[in-house]
Structure 1
């Protein structure tokens, strides 16, 4: 009797869980076009910046260094060739896996960071990383390049399955904060 009750409860919970997940799936962006229709102008600007950053391979050396460092720690993963070609489908997959809320949070934080760099109020400008630069334009250029590199490296580490989704998200969000 107890076993039957347990099985009934397990079945009911799994049905509820499937229904919950299917409703949640409807909230997640299916394509970049769907995502763009559900975000504000600032987030759209951040999305465009992110896409351009992923298509610019000037940060490939930094990606290879990060791959090498990760593979030293993970002996069981075979050394593989990195796929660093921009692929819209993989970007859409990232946003689907992040879900609607995390995607919007990421794009909002990216937009706020870029905006603060462009208007000169970026907090890190007063850090030691920028002391050697004498003009705001040079500081802005270094900050933008640094963000592009961080996005590029972490995105391609994720798409090459060297890090998981949580690592990508928290690493990038921490960098943007």
Structure 2
């Protein structure tokens, strides 16, 4: 798999959160449904203080992992400059800087986008991670949705950021 290593500084994010589980593939059903609800209700318009202004970059952030129960929190949101005047129903989080392996999903049609994203995650964890010189750093991972997957495009793709550290480091 092709990837690049990126150092991303700490950042603030504002968004909507869902607690989900990896057990029985619950997250693979709940997260796409959560995205549909987010998009259909135009929730992105309610996110203030955006870093990316007129060209919004949406993030799907997996954080607050509980390995025992197999649960984690998934946030759909955007990078924010500050947390002033944030509506009550939105979560405000600060994420530490980290080194990431960044993977880009294959170009696909919007109809197959969700399954392409899930297949890329699976390939990263089952085929790349065990054989790479890196291991998961145990910090939040996220999806980066920019203009490459904007509405109206016939071919779409996005990036997946996996926090990494060298094995044995």
TM-score (norm 2): 0.26
The structure with the greater share of residues assigned to helix is: 1
The structure with the greater share of residues assigned to strand is: 2
Structure index of larger Rg: 1
